[in-house]
A and B are shown apart, each in its own frame.
Chain A
Amino acid sequence: MSFISVKKLWKEYGSQVVLENLNLEVKEGEFCTLVGASGCGKSTFLKMLLGQETASRGELSLQGEQFPGQPDRNRGIVFQRYSVFPHLTVRENVLLGLELEQMPLLGKLFGKARKDALDQVDAMLEAVGLGHALNKWPHELSGGMQQRLAIAQSFIMKPRILLLDEPFGALDPGIRGDMHDLILKLWRESGTTIFMVTHDLHEGFYLGTRLLVFDKIRNDPQNPEAYGATISYDLPIGQTDPQLYQTIESSVSETSRKLSA
Protein backbone atom coordinates (compact mmCIF):
# COMPACT_ATOMS: atom_id res chain seq x y z
CA MET A 1 0.00 0.00 0.00
CA SER A 2 1.40 3.36 -0.93
CA PHE A 3 1.61 6.34 1.43
CA ILE A 4 -0.67 8.62 -0.53
CA SER A 5 -3.00 7.27 -3.12
CA VAL A 6 -5.18 9.25 -5.52
CA LYS A 7 -7.76 7.38 -7.58
CA LYS A 8 -10.02 8.88 -10.26
CA LEU A 9 -10.08 12.21 -8.46
CA TRP A 10 -12.24 15.05 -9.81
CA LYS A 11 -12.65 18.58 -8.55
CA GLU A 12 -15.45 20.75 -9.87
CA TYR A 13 -16.83 24.14 -8.90
CA GLY A 14 -20.33 24.17 -10.37
CA SER A 15 -19.87 23.57 -14.08
CA GLN A 16 -16.19 24.48 -13.97
CA VAL A 17 -13.96 21.42 -13.99
CA VAL A 18 -10.61 22.09 -12.34
CA LEU A 19 -9.13 18.62 -12.07
CA GLU A 20 -10.22 15.58 -13.98
CA ASN A 21 -9.42 11.96 -13.47
CA LEU A 22 -6.30 12.32 -11.37
CA ASN A 23 -4.46 9.08 -10.55
CA LEU A 24 -1.31 9.03 -8.44
CA GLU A 25 0.58 6.83 -6.01
CA VAL A 26 3.21 8.45 -3.81
CA LYS A 27 5.62 6.59 -1.53
CA GLU A 28 6.62 7.92 1.87
CA GLY A 29 9.64 10.19 1.69
CA GLU A 30 9.21 11.24 -1.93
CA PHE A 31 9.81 14.84 -3.02
CA CYS A 32 7.29 15.71 -5.73
CA THR A 33 7.37 18.99 -7.61
CA LEU A 34 4.15 20.13 -9.24
CA VAL A 35 4.44 22.36 -12.30
CA GLY A 36 1.96 23.68 -14.82
CA ALA A 37 0.22 26.81 -16.04
CA SER A 38 -1.77 29.00 -13.63
CA GLY A 39 -5.30 27.71 -13.30
CA CYS A 40 -4.33 24.10 -13.87
CA GLY A 41 -5.27 22.97 -10.42
CA LYS A 42 -1.85 22.60 -8.77
CA SER A 43 -2.83 24.76 -5.82
CA THR A 44 -6.26 23.13 -5.66
CA PHE A 45 -4.58 19.74 -5.40
CA LEU A 46 -2.31 21.09 -2.66
CA LYS A 47 -5.35 22.41 -0.80
CA MET A 48 -6.92 18.97 -0.96
CA LEU A 49 -3.77 17.44 0.51
CA LEU A 50 -3.95 20.09 3.24
CA GLY A 51 -7.62 19.49 4.01
CA GLN A 52 -8.79 22.92 2.90
CA GLU A 53 -10.72 21.50 -0.05
CA THR A 54 -12.46 18.19 -0.60
CA ALA A 55 -12.67 16.17 -3.80
CA SER A 56 -15.90 16.28 -5.79
CA ARG A 57 -15.47 12.67 -6.84
CA GLY A 58 -12.87 9.98 -6.48
CA GLU A 59 -10.59 8.90 -3.71
CA LEU A 60 -7.76 10.58 -1.86
CA SER A 61 -6.26 8.46 0.89
CA LEU A 62 -3.37 8.58 3.31
CA GLN A 63 -2.17 5.06 4.17
CA GLY A 64 -5.53 3.67 3.18
CA GLU A 65 -7.51 6.12 5.31
CA GLN A 66 -9.47 9.08 3.99
CA PHE A 67 -7.64 12.41 4.17
CA PRO A 68 -8.52 14.49 7.26
CA GLY A 69 -10.98 17.25 6.36
CA GLN A 70 -9.13 20.10 8.05
CA PRO A 71 -5.50 21.13 8.45
CA ASP A 72 -3.60 19.40 11.26
CA ARG A 73 -0.11 19.21 12.74
CA ASN A 74 0.90 16.27 10.52
CA ARG A 75 0.80 18.35 7.37
CA GLY A 76 2.95 21.46 7.33
CA ILE A 77 2.73 24.26 4.83
CA VAL A 78 4.86 27.12 3.57
CA PHE A 79 3.09 29.73 1.47
CA GLN A 80 4.66 32.27 -0.84
CA ARG A 81 3.89 35.00 1.72
CA TYR A 82 2.25 35.53 5.12
CA SER A 83 3.49 32.25 6.55
CA VAL A 84 5.02 33.75 9.68
CA PHE A 85 3.35 35.66 12.47
CA PRO A 86 4.27 39.35 12.50
CA HIS A 87 3.58 39.74 16.23
CA LEU A 88 6.09 37.08 17.27
CA THR A 89 9.88 37.26 17.11
CA VAL A 90 11.84 34.77 15.05
CA ARG A 91 12.33 32.49 18.05
CA GLU A 92 8.70 32.78 19.20
CA ASN A 93 7.49 31.93 15.70
CA VAL A 94 9.30 28.60 15.76
CA LEU A 95 8.48 27.97 19.41
CA LEU A 96 4.77 28.48 18.73
CA GLY A 97 4.09 24.99 17.35
CA LEU A 98 5.75 23.29 20.32
CA GLU A 99 3.81 25.49 22.75
CA LEU A 100 0.49 24.82 21.05
CA GLU A 101 1.11 21.09 21.14
CA GLN A 102 2.20 20.86 24.76
CA MET A 103 -0.14 23.43 26.32
CA PRO A 104 -3.66 23.04 24.90
CA LEU A 105 -5.15 25.64 27.25
CA LEU A 106 -2.48 28.25 27.84
CA GLY A 107 -0.70 27.88 24.52
CA LYS A 108 2.50 29.02 26.23
CA LEU A 109 5.42 27.23 27.84
CA PHE A 110 7.10 28.38 31.04
CA GLY A 111 10.24 27.64 33.05
CA LYS A 112 12.22 24.55 32.26
CA ALA A 113 9.87 23.23 29.61
CA ARG A 114 10.22 26.51 27.74
CA LYS A 115 13.99 26.40 28.08
CA ASP A 116 14.17 22.87 26.71
CA ALA A 117 11.90 23.80 23.82
CA LEU A 118 14.00 26.88 23.09
CA ASP A 119 17.13 24.70 22.81
CA GLN A 120 15.33 22.75 20.11
CA VAL A 121 14.17 25.97 18.46
CA ASP A 122 17.65 27.48 18.42
CA ALA A 123 19.10 24.32 16.86
CA MET A 124 16.43 24.43 14.16
CA LEU A 125 17.05 28.12 13.47
CA GLU A 126 20.78 27.45 13.31
CA ALA A 127 20.12 24.74 10.72
CA VAL A 128 18.19 27.12 8.45
CA GLY A 129 20.80 29.86 8.85
CA LEU A 130 18.90 32.20 11.13
CA GLY A 131 21.11 31.68 14.20
CA HIS A 132 22.08 35.35 14.14
CA ALA A 133 18.51 36.70 14.04
CA LEU A 134 16.86 34.90 16.96
CA ASN A 135 15.26 37.95 18.54
CA LYS A 136 14.37 39.93 15.47
CA TRP A 137 10.85 40.66 14.28
CA PRO A 138 9.77 39.14 10.96
CA HIS A 139 9.45 42.58 9.34
CA GLU A 140 13.15 43.11 9.97
CA LEU A 141 13.99 40.07 7.84
CA SER A 142 14.42 39.92 4.07
CA GLY A 143 12.00 37.88 1.97
CA GLY A 144 14.40 34.94 1.80
CA MET A 145 14.99 34.97 5.55
CA GLN A 146 11.24 35.08 6.19
CA GLN A 147 10.87 31.95 4.06
CA ARG A 148 13.70 30.28 5.98
CA LEU A 149 11.77 31.10 9.13
CA ALA A 150 8.54 29.68 7.71
CA ILE A 151 10.39 26.50 6.75
CA ALA A 152 11.90 26.18 10.24
CA GLN A 153 8.47 26.78 11.76
CA SER A 154 7.05 23.87 9.78
CA PHE A 155 9.98 21.46 10.09
CA ILE A 156 10.19 21.67 13.88
CA MET A 157 6.78 19.95 14.03
CA LYS A 158 8.25 17.00 12.08
CA PRO A 159 5.20 16.83 9.79
CA ARG A 160 4.65 13.63 7.81
CA ILE A 161 3.81 15.69 4.75
CA LEU A 162 5.18 19.11 3.92
CA LEU A 163 3.40 21.25 1.34
CA LEU A 164 5.24 24.12 -0.33
CA ASP A 165 3.04 26.52 -2.32
CA GLU A 166 5.43 28.44 -4.58
CA PRO A 167 7.65 29.09 -1.56
CA PHE A 168 10.43 30.76 -3.54
CA GLY A 169 8.24 32.53 -6.10
CA ALA A 170 8.80 35.99 -4.63
CA LEU A 171 12.55 35.62 -4.12
CA ASP A 172 15.51 36.83 -6.16
CA PRO A 173 16.91 34.13 -8.47
CA GLY A 174 20.26 34.18 -6.66
CA ILE A 175 18.65 33.41 -3.31
CA ARG A 176 16.56 30.59 -4.75
CA GLY A 177 19.61 28.38 -5.23
CA ASP A 178 20.47 28.66 -1.52
CA MET A 179 16.87 27.87 -0.62
CA HIS A 180 16.93 24.76 -2.84
CA ASP A 181 20.02 23.51 -1.02
CA LEU A 182 18.35 24.19 2.31
CA ILE A 183 15.13 22.39 1.51
CA LEU A 184 16.99 19.39 0.04
CA LYS A 185 19.17 19.16 3.15
CA LEU A 186 16.19 19.27 5.51
CA TRP A 187 14.30 16.78 3.38
CA ARG A 188 17.16 14.27 3.46
CA GLU A 189 17.57 14.63 7.21
CA SER A 190 13.87 14.35 8.04
CA GLY A 191 12.53 11.91 5.47
CA THR A 192 9.35 13.96 5.18
CA THR A 193 7.20 13.57 2.10
CA ILE A 194 7.23 16.88 0.23
CA PHE A 195 4.93 18.35 -2.39
CA MET A 196 6.12 21.57 -3.92
CA VAL A 197 4.15 23.72 -6.34
CA THR A 198 6.30 25.88 -8.57
CA HIS A 199 5.95 28.06 -11.64
CA ASP A 200 9.53 27.48 -12.55
CA LEU A 201 9.76 24.41 -14.77
CA HIS A 202 13.54 24.38 -14.43
CA GLU A 203 13.21 24.26 -10.64
CA GLY A 204 10.80 21.35 -10.96
CA PHE A 205 13.14 19.52 -13.28
CA TYR A 206 15.97 18.93 -10.90
CA LEU A 207 14.65 19.45 -7.36
CA GLY A 208 13.27 16.38 -5.62
CA THR A 209 12.58 12.88 -6.84
CA ARG A 210 9.59 13.23 -9.05
CA LEU A 211 8.08 15.76 -11.43
CA LEU A 212 4.30 16.02 -11.89
CA VAL A 213 3.14 18.22 -14.76
CA PHE A 214 -0.44 19.49 -14.49
CA ASP A 215 -1.88 20.31 -17.87
CA LYS A 216 -5.12 20.45 -19.80
CA ILE A 217 -4.98 17.64 -22.30
CA ARG A 218 -8.41 18.32 -23.76
CA ASN A 219 -9.53 21.81 -24.57
CA ASP A 220 -12.81 23.21 -25.85
CA PRO A 221 -12.16 26.73 -27.21
CA GLN A 222 -15.87 27.57 -26.96
CA ASN A 223 -16.08 26.49 -23.36
CA PRO A 224 -12.68 26.50 -21.65
CA GLU A 225 -14.16 25.42 -18.34
CA ALA A 226 -15.60 22.19 -19.70
CA TYR A 227 -12.42 20.16 -19.27
CA GLY A 228 -10.13 20.12 -16.28
CA ALA A 229 -6.43 19.57 -15.94
CA THR A 230 -4.79 16.31 -15.11
CA ILE A 231 -1.26 15.00 -14.69
CA SER A 232 0.17 14.90 -18.19
CA TYR A 233 3.71 13.87 -17.24
CA ASP A 234 4.87 11.92 -14.21
CA LEU A 235 8.65 11.69 -14.41
CA PRO A 236 11.38 10.56 -12.08
CA ILE A 237 13.95 13.30 -11.60
CA GLY A 238 17.30 12.59 -13.18
CA GLN A 239 15.79 11.99 -16.58
CA THR A 240 16.63 15.50 -17.70
CA ASP A 241 16.33 15.03 -21.41
CA PRO A 242 16.50 18.50 -23.03
CA GLN A 243 14.09 17.37 -25.74
CA LEU A 244 11.49 16.41 -23.14
CA TYR A 245 12.04 19.69 -21.29
CA GLN A 246 11.24 21.56 -24.49
CA THR A 247 8.12 19.50 -25.15
CA ILE A 248 6.75 20.08 -21.66
CA GLU A 249 7.68 23.73 -21.73
CA SER A 250 5.84 24.39 -24.97
CA SER A 251 2.81 22.37 -23.91
CA VAL A 252 2.53 24.22 -20.59
CA SER A 253 2.94 27.64 -22.14
CA GLU A 254 0.38 26.78 -24.83
CA THR A 255 -2.17 25.89 -22.15
CA SER A 256 -1.33 29.04 -20.27
CA ARG A 257 -1.93 31.12 -23.42
CA LYS A 258 -5.25 29.40 -24.04
CA LEU A 259 -6.37 29.95 -20.46
CA SER A 260 -5.53 33.63 -20.46
CA ALA A 261 -7.04 34.23 -23.92
Chain B
Amino acid sequence: MRLINRHPGRVSATLLGLLPFLLIALIYSLASQERLADNPNDKLLPGLEQMTAAVDRMAFQEDRRSGDFLMWQDTTASLARLGIGVGVAALLALFVGILNGVLPLVRANLAPLVSALSMVPPLAILPILFIVFGLGELSKVMLIVIGTAPIMMRDVAQRVRELPGEQLIKIQTLGANSWQVITRMALPQVLPRLIDAVRLSLGPAWLFLIAAEAIASTEGLGYRIFLVRRYLAMDVILPYVIWITILAIVIDQCLRLTNRRLFPWYNAGGY
Protein backbone atom coordinates (compact mmCIF):
# COMPACT_ATOMS: atom_id res chain seq x y z
CA MET B 1 0.00 0.00 0.00
CA ARG B 2 1.22 3.50 -0.80
CA LEU B 3 2.57 5.50 2.07
CA ILE B 4 0.09 8.32 1.40
CA ASN B 5 -2.80 5.91 1.97
CA ARG B 6 -1.65 4.50 5.29
CA HIS B 7 -3.47 6.09 8.20
CA PRO B 8 -2.66 5.53 11.88
CA GLY B 9 -5.38 4.31 14.23
CA ARG B 10 -6.44 6.23 17.33
CA VAL B 11 -3.99 4.64 19.71
CA SER B 12 -1.04 4.62 17.36
CA ALA B 13 -1.71 8.26 16.41
CA THR B 14 -1.52 9.22 20.08
CA LEU B 15 1.66 7.23 20.55
CA LEU B 16 3.22 8.71 17.44
CA GLY B 17 2.36 12.18 18.70
CA LEU B 18 3.84 11.51 22.13
CA LEU B 19 7.01 9.97 20.78
CA PRO B 20 8.91 13.20 19.94
CA PHE B 21 8.19 14.62 23.41
CA LEU B 22 9.43 11.47 25.14
CA LEU B 23 12.47 11.40 22.89
CA ILE B 24 13.42 14.98 23.75
CA ALA B 25 12.93 14.29 27.48
CA LEU B 26 15.06 11.17 27.23
CA ILE B 27 17.91 12.83 25.36
CA TYR B 28 17.87 15.75 27.75
CA SER B 29 17.93 13.62 30.88
CA LEU B 30 20.77 11.46 29.55
CA ALA B 31 22.84 14.52 28.66
CA SER B 32 22.01 16.15 31.98
CA GLN B 33 22.97 13.04 33.98
CA GLU B 34 26.28 12.80 32.18
CA ARG B 35 27.18 16.43 32.90
CA LEU B 36 26.05 16.21 36.52
CA ALA B 37 28.15 13.08 37.01
CA ASP B 38 31.19 15.08 35.92
CA ASN B 39 30.32 18.15 37.94
CA PRO B 40 27.44 18.11 40.48
CA ASN B 41 27.33 21.92 40.36
CA ASP B 42 26.81 22.11 36.60
CA LYS B 43 24.30 24.82 35.70
CA LEU B 44 23.82 24.26 32.00
CA LEU B 45 21.62 21.16 31.99
CA PRO B 46 19.92 20.96 35.39
CA GLY B 47 18.19 17.72 36.29
CA LEU B 48 14.59 17.28 37.36
CA GLU B 49 15.64 17.61 40.99
CA GLN B 50 17.23 21.04 40.55
CA MET B 51 14.30 22.25 38.47
CA THR B 52 11.67 21.14 41.01
CA ALA B 53 13.70 22.81 43.70
CA ALA B 54 13.81 26.01 41.65
CA VAL B 55 10.06 25.94 40.97
CA ASP B 56 9.43 25.30 44.66
CA ARG B 57 11.60 28.27 45.55
CA MET B 58 10.06 30.60 42.94
CA ALA B 59 6.43 29.58 43.19
CA PHE B 60 5.76 28.26 46.67
CA GLN B 61 8.13 30.14 48.97
CA GLU B 62 8.12 33.82 49.81
CA ASP B 63 11.00 35.72 48.34
CA ARG B 64 13.45 36.52 51.13
CA ARG B 65 13.84 40.12 50.06
CA SER B 66 10.33 41.20 48.99
CA GLY B 67 8.16 38.57 50.66
CA ASP B 68 6.33 37.83 47.37
CA PHE B 69 5.75 34.57 45.57
CA LEU B 70 7.80 35.55 42.54
CA MET B 71 6.46 33.17 39.91
CA TRP B 72 2.83 34.07 40.58
CA GLN B 73 3.68 37.73 40.70
CA ASP B 74 5.49 37.42 37.37
CA THR B 75 2.60 35.47 35.88
CA THR B 76 -0.12 37.92 36.89
CA ALA B 77 1.96 40.90 35.76
CA SER B 78 2.65 39.35 32.36
CA LEU B 79 -0.88 38.09 31.82
CA ALA B 80 -2.33 41.49 32.71
CA ARG B 81 -0.10 43.19 30.13
CA LEU B 82 -0.86 40.55 27.53
CA GLY B 83 -4.61 40.66 28.21
CA ILE B 84 -4.88 44.43 28.10
CA GLY B 85 -2.66 44.70 25.04
CA VAL B 86 -4.40 42.02 22.99
CA GLY B 87 -7.82 43.16 24.20
CA VAL B 88 -7.26 46.73 23.13
CA ALA B 89 -5.79 45.57 19.84
CA ALA B 90 -8.79 43.33 19.18
CA LEU B 91 -11.26 46.14 19.87
CA LEU B 92 -9.35 48.50 17.60
CA ALA B 93 -9.19 45.81 14.93
CA LEU B 94 -12.93 45.22 15.16
CA PHE B 95 -13.74 48.92 14.89
CA VAL B 96 -11.34 49.85 12.10
CA GLY B 97 -11.63 46.51 10.30
CA ILE B 98 -15.42 46.62 10.07
CA LEU B 99 -15.49 50.23 8.90
CA ASN B 100 -12.78 49.42 6.35
CA GLY B 101 -14.60 46.34 5.18
CA VAL B 102 -18.10 47.79 4.92
CA LEU B 103 -17.67 51.42 3.87
CA PRO B 104 -15.81 52.07 0.60
CA LEU B 105 -15.16 55.70 1.55
CA VAL B 106 -13.44 54.72 4.80
CA ARG B 107 -11.56 51.98 3.00
CA ALA B 108 -10.16 54.46 0.47
CA ASN B 109 -9.18 56.70 3.34
CA LEU B 110 -7.74 54.26 5.89
CA ALA B 111 -6.71 51.01 4.18
CA PRO B 112 -3.38 52.33 2.82
CA LEU B 113 -2.43 53.66 6.26
CA VAL B 114 -3.30 50.36 7.95
CA SER B 115 -1.29 48.44 5.34
CA ALA B 116 1.72 50.70 5.86
CA LEU B 117 1.48 50.49 9.65
CA SER B 118 1.33 46.72 9.56
CA MET B 119 4.68 46.73 7.76
CA VAL B 120 6.50 48.69 10.48
CA PRO B 121 8.61 46.26 12.54
CA PRO B 122 7.16 46.82 16.05
CA LEU B 123 10.43 46.13 17.87
CA ALA B 124 12.10 48.89 15.87
CA ILE B 125 9.78 51.43 17.45
CA LEU B 126 10.13 50.04 20.97
CA PRO B 127 12.70 52.74 21.84
CA ILE B 128 10.24 55.38 20.66
CA LEU B 129 7.57 53.86 22.91
CA PHE B 130 9.93 53.92 25.90
CA ILE B 131 10.78 57.57 25.16
CA VAL B 132 7.17 58.64 24.63
CA PHE B 133 5.34 56.53 27.21
CA GLY B 134 8.10 56.07 29.73
CA LEU B 135 9.32 52.78 31.16
CA GLY B 136 6.05 51.94 32.91
CA GLU B 137 3.21 49.60 31.99
CA LEU B 138 1.90 51.77 29.18
CA SER B 139 4.86 51.33 26.86
CA LYS B 140 4.74 47.53 27.17
CA VAL B 141 1.01 47.40 26.50
CA MET B 142 1.43 49.81 23.61
CA LEU B 143 4.06 47.58 22.03
CA ILE B 144 1.63 44.66 22.04
CA VAL B 145 -1.15 46.87 20.65
CA ILE B 146 1.00 48.34 17.91
CA GLY B 147 2.48 44.98 17.11
CA THR B 148 -0.78 43.07 16.74
CA ALA B 149 -3.55 45.56 15.91
CA PRO B 150 -2.70 46.51 12.30
CA ILE B 151 -2.52 42.91 11.15
CA MET B 152 -5.78 42.08 12.89
CA MET B 153 -7.39 45.17 11.34
CA ARG B 154 -6.43 43.94 7.89
CA ASP B 155 -7.64 40.47 8.74
CA VAL B 156 -11.04 41.67 9.96
CA ALA B 157 -11.51 43.93 6.93
CA GLN B 158 -10.62 41.02 4.68
CA ARG B 159 -13.10 38.74 6.46
CA VAL B 160 -15.85 41.33 6.05
CA ARG B 161 -15.13 41.61 2.36
CA GLU B 162 -15.19 37.84 2.01
CA LEU B 163 -18.84 37.74 3.05
CA PRO B 164 -20.80 36.87 -0.11
CA GLY B 165 -21.86 39.94 -2.11
CA GLU B 166 -25.32 38.39 -2.32
CA GLN B 167 -25.75 38.94 1.43
CA LEU B 168 -25.02 42.63 1.13
CA ILE B 169 -27.63 43.01 -1.63
CA LYS B 170 -30.12 40.85 0.21
CA ILE B 171 -30.01 42.83 3.43
CA GLN B 172 -30.49 46.05 1.47
CA THR B 173 -33.59 44.59 -0.15
CA LEU B 174 -34.83 43.94 3.39
CA GLY B 175 -34.52 47.67 4.01
CA ALA B 176 -31.28 47.86 5.99
CA ASN B 177 -29.47 51.18 6.32
CA SER B 178 -25.66 51.28 6.51
CA TRP B 179 -25.67 51.12 10.31
CA GLN B 180 -27.90 48.04 10.27
CA VAL B 181 -25.70 46.38 7.65
CA ILE B 182 -22.87 46.73 10.16
CA THR B 183 -24.74 45.69 13.29
CA ARG B 184 -26.89 42.90 11.89
CA MET B 185 -24.76 41.46 9.09
CA ALA B 186 -21.06 42.32 9.33
CA LEU B 187 -20.43 42.47 13.10
CA PRO B 188 -22.09 39.20 14.15
CA GLN B 189 -20.45 37.27 11.34
CA VAL B 190 -17.03 38.76 11.94
CA LEU B 191 -16.89 38.13 15.71
CA PRO B 192 -15.92 34.46 15.49
CA ARG B 193 -13.37 35.37 12.84
CA LEU B 194 -11.96 38.02 15.17
CA ILE B 195 -11.45 35.37 17.83
CA ASP B 196 -9.55 33.30 15.28
CA ALA B 197 -7.44 36.35 14.45
CA VAL B 198 -6.71 36.87 18.15
CA ARG B 199 -5.56 33.26 18.45
CA LEU B 200 -3.11 33.80 15.63
CA SER B 201 -1.91 37.10 17.11
CA LEU B 202 -1.12 35.60 20.50
CA GLY B 203 2.21 34.27 19.26
CA PRO B 204 3.52 37.72 18.24
CA ALA B 205 1.90 39.22 21.35
CA TRP B 206 3.98 36.96 23.62
CA LEU B 207 7.07 37.85 21.65
CA PHE B 208 6.51 41.59 22.11
CA LEU B 209 5.63 41.13 25.78
CA ILE B 210 8.79 39.25 26.61
CA ALA B 211 10.95 41.60 24.56
CA ALA B 212 9.55 44.64 26.36
CA GLU B 213 9.86 43.00 29.77
CA ALA B 214 13.42 41.95 29.07
CA ILE B 215 14.46 45.53 28.38
CA ALA B 216 12.67 47.51 31.07
CA SER B 217 10.64 45.98 33.84
CA THR B 218 10.69 45.01 37.49
CA GLU B 219 8.45 41.97 37.28
CA GLY B 220 7.05 39.63 34.67
CA LEU B 221 7.90 36.27 33.13
CA GLY B 222 10.17 37.77 30.50
CA TYR B 223 11.88 40.00 33.05
CA ARG B 224 12.64 37.03 35.31
CA ILE B 225 14.08 34.91 32.53
CA PHE B 226 16.42 37.66 31.43
CA LEU B 227 17.32 38.52 35.03
CA VAL B 228 18.39 35.03 36.06
CA ARG B 229 20.24 34.58 32.77
CA ARG B 230 23.05 36.52 34.47
CA TYR B 231 23.56 33.63 36.89
CA LEU B 232 23.15 30.98 34.16
CA ALA B 233 20.12 29.80 36.15
CA MET B 234 18.83 27.28 33.65
CA ASP B 235 16.98 25.58 36.50
CA VAL B 236 14.67 28.64 36.58
CA ILE B 237 14.67 29.51 32.89
CA LEU B 238 13.56 26.09 31.65
CA PRO B 239 10.52 25.78 33.96
CA TYR B 240 9.56 29.36 33.10
CA VAL B 241 9.67 28.59 29.37
CA ILE B 242 7.55 25.48 29.90
CA TRP B 243 5.14 27.47 32.06
CA ILE B 244 4.77 30.17 29.36
CA THR B 245 4.13 27.48 26.77
CA ILE B 246 1.44 25.92 28.95
CA LEU B 247 -0.20 29.31 29.47
CA ALA B 248 -0.17 29.96 25.72
CA ILE B 249 -1.76 26.58 24.99
CA VAL B 250 -4.45 27.06 27.65
CA ILE B 251 -5.36 30.54 26.38
CA ASP B 252 -5.52 29.30 22.80
CA GLN B 253 -7.77 26.38 23.68
CA CYS B 254 -10.03 28.59 25.81
CA LEU B 255 -10.54 30.91 22.85
CA ARG B 256 -11.22 27.97 20.57
CA LEU B 257 -13.87 26.58 22.91
CA THR B 258 -15.40 30.02 23.40
CA ASN B 259 -15.74 30.29 19.66
CA ARG B 260 -17.47 26.95 19.46
CA ARG B 261 -19.80 27.66 22.33
CA LEU B 262 -20.81 31.18 21.30
CA PHE B 263 -21.08 30.67 17.55
CA PRO B 264 -22.47 27.21 16.83
CA TRP B 265 -23.20 28.15 13.22
CA TYR B 266 -19.57 29.11 12.56
CA ASN B 267 -17.78 25.83 13.01
CA ALA B 268 -20.67 23.56 12.16
CA GLY B 269 -20.31 24.23 8.46
CA GLY B 270 -22.17 27.54 8.37
CA TYR B 271 -19.18 28.37 6.25
Please, how many angstroms separate the alpha-carbon atoms of A145 and B215 in the complex? 60
Contact between chains at A77 and B175 (CB < 8 Å): no
- Residue pair A71, B270 in contact (C-beta under 8 Å): no
Which single residue of chain B is at the shortest CB-CB distance from A102? B175
Cross-chain contact A104 with B180 (CB below 8 angstroms): yes
- Complex Cα spacing A96 to B184, Å: 9
Residues of B within 8 Å of A100, CB to CB, are 171, 174-177, 180, 184
B264 in contact (CB, < 8 A): yes
Which of A73, A76, A82 is within 8 Å of B167, CB to CB? Answer: A82
Cβ–Cβ contact A87 & B263, under 8 A: yes
* Set of chain A residues within 8 Å of B170, measured between Cβ atoms: 77, 79, 82-85, 150, 153
Contacts of B179 in A (CB 8 A): 104-105, 107
- Minimum CB–CB distance for A189 against chain B, Å: 20
Residue in chain B with minimal CB distance to A150:
B170
Partner of B173, one of A77, A84, A85, A107: A77
**How distant is B259 from chain A, measured CB to nearest CB, in Å?**
13
Is B269's CB under 8 angstroms from A139's CB? yes
Interchain CA distance A85-B163 in the complex, whole Å: 10
Give A74 to B180 CA distance when docked, in angstroms: 17
Does A228 sit within 8 A of B, measured CB to CB? no
Who on chain B is nearest to A77 by CB?
B173
- What CA separation (Å) do A212 and B174 show in the bound complex? 27
Q: How many residues of B contact A (CB 8 A)?
A: 27
Q: In the bound complex, what is the Cα–Cα distance between A100 and B266 (angstroms)?
A: 23
Q: Which residue of A lies closest to B264 (CB)?
A: A137
Which B residues lie within 8 Å of A84 (CB)? 170
- Interface of chain A, helix or strand or loop or mixed? loop
A159 at the interface (CB under 8 A from B): yes
CA distance in complex: A159, B177 (Å): 17
Q: Decide yes or no whether A86 CB sits under 8 A from chain B.
A: yes
Total A-B residue pairs with C-beta atoms closer than 8 Å? 88
Tell me if A50 and B270 are in contact (CB < 8 A). Answer: no
Assign chain A's interface to a size class.
Answer: 20 to 34
A107 vs chain B, min Cβ distance (A): 4
Residue of A nearest to B270 (CB): A86
Q: Which of A75, A107, A139, A153 contacts B184 (CB 8 A)?
A: A107
User: Closest B-chain residue to A73, C-beta based?
Assistant: B175
- Dominant secondary structure of chain B at its interface with chain A: helix
Do the beta carbons of B173 and A137 come within 8 Å of each other? no
Assembly CA distance A73 to B170 (angstroms): 9
Could you say which residues of chain A place their CB within 8 Å of the CB of B166? 79, 81-83
Closest chain A residue to B175 by CB distance?
A: A73
In the assembled complex, which residues on chain A have CB atoms less than 8 Å from the CB atom of B108?
A: none
Question: When A137-B265, A139-B265 are in contact, do A72 and B184 touch as well, CB less than 8 Å?
Answer: no
Q: Which residues of A contact B265 (CB under 8 A)?
A: 86-87, 137-139
Please state if A159 and B167 are interface contacts (CB–CB under 8 Å): no
B183 within 8 A of A: yes
* Docked complex Cα distance between A137 and B266 (Å): 10
User: Bound complex: CA of A163 vs CA of B238, how far in Å?
Assistant: 66
A86-B270, A87-B263 are known contacts. Are A50 and B175 too (CB-CB below 8 A)?
no
Decide if B169 touches A139 in the complex (CB within 8 Å): no
**Can you list 29 pairs linking A and B with CB atoms under 8 Å apart?**
A52-B169, A70-B172, A72-B172, A73-B173, A73-B174, A75-B173, A79-B169, A82-B167, A84-B170, A85-B167, A86-B189, A86-B265, A86-B270, A86-B271, A87-B266, A96-B171, A96-B184, A97-B174, A100-B174, A100-B180, A107-B179, A107-B184, A137-B265, A137-B270, A138-B265, A139-B268, A139-B270, A150-B170, A153-B174
Given contacts A72-B173, A79-B166, 14 further A-B contacts (CB under 8 A): A73-B173, A73-B174, A73-B175, A81-B166, A84-B170, A86-B270, A97-B175, A101-B175, A104-B177, A108-B184, A137-B268, A139-B270, A150-B170, A154-B173
